[in-house]
């Protein structure tokens, strides 16, 4: 029986050693001062939404165009251009001579017409004298009634020929006048087709000009916004070529287009732009531009921009709850002013939200609020 007792002692000794080793390797439990309390995920600062005066605007795109572009054409035909006095980009005044046609042919035709008019006037004087004598002899019987009528008819025919000759002479004087091509208004030459030596037909376009050097921005505005736009309203226009940091070109609404495009559902709003006083205007016809219609100011609920977190294409803020946990709330963002952004929905003015550190939080996190 002694060997069995020794083996039992050895087994008990081995079990004791194993328990001791297990006790050494087991981690020592950590006891909190408040059993069950969780550690905050982050220390954050908080704030409340505030009512802020925000600019009310409408943004639109469109092209810059001439207010009116005048086409200056030839009023006489078959004549050679003798002189071109202006070029593209020149500023001209109303009545200024732009080009001159050769006048030799017109002057010769005018001289012929003046001679024909003089001849007709002389013939009329002779016919009037004959008609006067015929009337004086009407009662004497020296001339028959038929002869008297012939003299009177000859007088009327001579008078008609004078009128015709005078009309032809005036026509040639007009041709002579039209050999000088004049500017119809103040403006800037935007196109030139006239060339010295060219023989052009009546009505051929010689020049194009921007009337009064006035430009306008034709903004495409959605039909739902048209009721908010009024004539005379200021507009900030940003041409595509405007250098970075330069102030916008300030225009004024002249008129709202009377029709709406049935496909795009937009209407054209015509905005007058200021007339440039230098040779390098900030805007030119044909440029693309964006613009902002300034409607005034209105109150809006705003939060700091760093409070808003973008996730999955949506905007969120973290609202602080009474148990120091945060709730992720989806919000709709509106206008921006400085470092603040307008919240259109999802928040109340009485809510407390996380200001700094919002980008590191998830829904339900426990936070520690930074004391100021």
pLDDT tens for the chain, residues 1 to 372: 344 444 444 344 444 444 444 443 334 333 333 455 577 778 888 999 999 888 888 999 999 999 999 999 999 999 999 999 999 989 999 999 999 999 999 999 999 999 999 999 999 999 989 888 888 777 777 777 788 788 889 989 999 999 999 999 999 999 999 999 999 999 999 999 999 999 999 999 999 999 998 999 999 999 999 999 999 999 999 998 888 878 899 999 999 999 999 998 999 999 999 987 666 677 888 999 999 998 888 889 999 999 999 998 999 999 999 899 999 999 999 888 889 999 999 999 999 999 988 889 999 999 988 876
Domain identity same for 142 and 241: no
Domain identity same for 205 and 217: no
170, 193, 212 - which closes a domain: 212
Within 10 A of 313 (CB to CB), how many other CB atoms are there? 5
Nearest in space to 219 (alpha carbons), one of 55, 56, 342, 57: 57
CB 334 within 8 A of CB 36: no
CB 355 within 8 A of CB 302: no
How far apart, in whole angstroms, are the C-alpha atoms of residue 298 and residue 186?
Answer: 43
296, 320, 347 - which closes a domain: 296
The tokens describing 133, both together, are 């004598």
Domain identity same for 230 and 358: no
CB 201 within 8 A of CB 72: no
Domain identity same for 232 and 337: no
Domain identity same for 79 and 206: yes
Domain identity same for 345 and 363: yes
Q: What is the DSSP string of 176-240?
A: HHHTEEE-SSSEEEEEE---TT-EE-TT-EEEEEEETT-EEEEEEEEGGGGGG--TT-EEEEEET
Q: CATH number, domain at 247?
A: 2.40.30.170
Q: What is the DSSP string of 275-288?
A: PP-SSS-S--TT-E
Domain identity same for 271 and 200: no
Domain identity same for 223 and 323: no
Looking at the chain, how many residues does it have? 372
State the pTM of this model: 0.65
Residue 59, helix vs strand vs coil: strand
Q: CATH number, domain at 194?
A: 2.40.50.100
CA 362, 365, 367 angle in degrees (round to 5)?
120
Find the domain containing 194 and state its range: 68-99+181-212
Asked whether residue 34 is domain-assigned, the answer is no
Asked whether residue 334 is domain-assigned, the answer is yes
Asked whether residue 356 is domain-assigned, the answer is yes
Asked whether residue 28 is domain-assigned, the answer is no
CB 150 within 8 A of CB 175: no
Largest CA distance in the chain: 198
Asked whether residue 173 is domain-assigned, the answer is yes
How far apart, in whole angstroms, are the C-alpha atoms of residue 88 and residue 48?
Answer: 61
Domain identity same for 273 and 200: no
Asked whether residue 37 is domain-assigned, the answer is no
Q: CATH number, domain at 165?
A: 1.10.287
Domain identity same for 197 and 93: yes
264, 296, 328 - which closes a domain: 296
Number of domains making up the chain: 4
Residue 17: per-residue pLDDT:
45
Strand stretches in 21-110, DSSP E: 42-47, 50-66, 69-73, 79-84, 91-92, 97-101
Domain identity same for 219 and 279: yes
Torsion of CA 179, 183, 188, 189, to 10 degrees: -20
Domain identity same for 198 and 237: no
CB 79 within 8 A of CB 196: no
Nearest in space to 182 (alpha carbons), one of 105, 100, 67, 106: 100
Asked whether residue 14 is domain-assigned, the answer is no
Asked whether residue 238 is domain-assigned, the answer is yes
The tokens describing 45, both together, are 């600062």
How far apart, in whole angstroms, are the C-alpha atoms of residue 293 and residue 217?
Answer: 12
How far apart, in whole angstroms, are the C-alpha atoms of residue 346 and residue 349?
Answer: 10
């Amino acid at each position: 029986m002694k060997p069995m007792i020794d083996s039992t002692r050895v087994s008990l000794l081995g079990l004791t050693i194993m328990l001791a080793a297990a006790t050494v390797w087991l981690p020592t439990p950590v006891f909190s001062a408040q059993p069950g309390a969780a550690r905050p995920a982050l220390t954050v600062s908080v704030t409340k939404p505030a009512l802020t005066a925000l600019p009310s605007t409408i943004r639109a795109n469109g092209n810059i165009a001439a207010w009116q572009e005048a086409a200056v054409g030839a009023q006489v035909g078959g004549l050679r251009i003798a002189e071109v006095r202006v070029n593209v980009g020149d500023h001209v005044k109303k009545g200024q001579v732009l080009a001159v046609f050769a006048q030799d042919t017109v002057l010769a035709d005018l001289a012929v017409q003046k001679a024909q008019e003089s001849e007709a006037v002389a013939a009329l004087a002779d016919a009037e004298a004959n008609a006067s004598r015929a009337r004086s002899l009407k009662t004497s019987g020296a001339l028959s009634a038929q002869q008297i009528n012939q003299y009177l008819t000859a007088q009327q025919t001579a008078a008609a020929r004078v009128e015709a000759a005078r009309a032809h002479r005036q026509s040639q004087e007009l041709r002579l006048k039209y050999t000088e091509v004049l500017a119809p208004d103040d403006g800037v030459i935007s196109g030139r087709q006239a060339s010295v030596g060219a023989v052009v037909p009546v009505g051929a376009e010689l020049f194009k000009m921007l009337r009064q050097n006035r430009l306008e921005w034709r903004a495409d505005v959605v039909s739902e916004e048209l009721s908010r736009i009024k004539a005379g309203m200021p507009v900030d226009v940003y041409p595509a070529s405007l250098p970075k940091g330069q102030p916008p070109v300030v225009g004024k609404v002249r008129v709202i287009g009377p029709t709406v495009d049935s496909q795009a559902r937009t209407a054209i709003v015509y905005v007058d732009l200021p007339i440039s006083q230098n040779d390098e205007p900030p805007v030119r016809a044909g440029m693309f531009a964006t613009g902002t219609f300034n409607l005034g100011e209105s109150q809006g609920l705003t939060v700091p921009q760093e409070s808003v977190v973008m996730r999955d294409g949506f905007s969120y803020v973290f609202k602080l709850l009474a148990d120091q946990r945060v709730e992720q709330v989806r919000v709709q963002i509106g206008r921006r002013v400085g470092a603040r952004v307008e919240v259109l929905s999802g928040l109340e003015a009485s809510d407390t939200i996380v200001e700094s550190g919002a980008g590191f939080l998830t829904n339900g996190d426990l936070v520690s609020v930074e004391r100021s």
